[in-house]
Amino acid sequence: VQRAKVMSARSLMQKPGRVKCAGTVAPDAKISSFSAEIVSAGKPFSVVNGSGKPIGEVHPQAVIDLLAGIDRSTASP
């Protein structure tokens, strides 16, 4: 099973920052549904709740790491 097809934005999101985001996604959006757009944009996407309030953000590098099979919890800086 490809992880990007089953993992959601919520699973990769971090706390909202002060960086301008390039787009928005729902918490339950599958990574595969927006991976090309976020990598192309090179900027985070805001994860928003049902009323449009930002609850976190997903960074392009986190998506790239997931697609490449890199475990961010054990990766070296």
pLDDT in tens, the chain (77 residues): 688 788 999 999 999 988 899 999 999 999 999 999 999 999 999 999 999 999 999 999 999 999 998 876 554 45
Pairing of strands 45-48, 54-58: antiparallel
Instruction: Give the chain's domain count.
Output: 1
Q: How far apart are CA 54 and CA 68, in angstroms?
A: 27
**Domain assignment of residue 74, yes or no:** no
So what's the pLDDT on residue 5?
86
Global pTM value: 0.86
Instruction: With CA atoms as reference, report the closest residue to 43 among 63, 31, 59.
Output: 59
| Domain range for 61 | 3-68
So what's the pLDDT on residue 72?
64
CATH code of the domain in which 63 resides: 3.90.1280.20
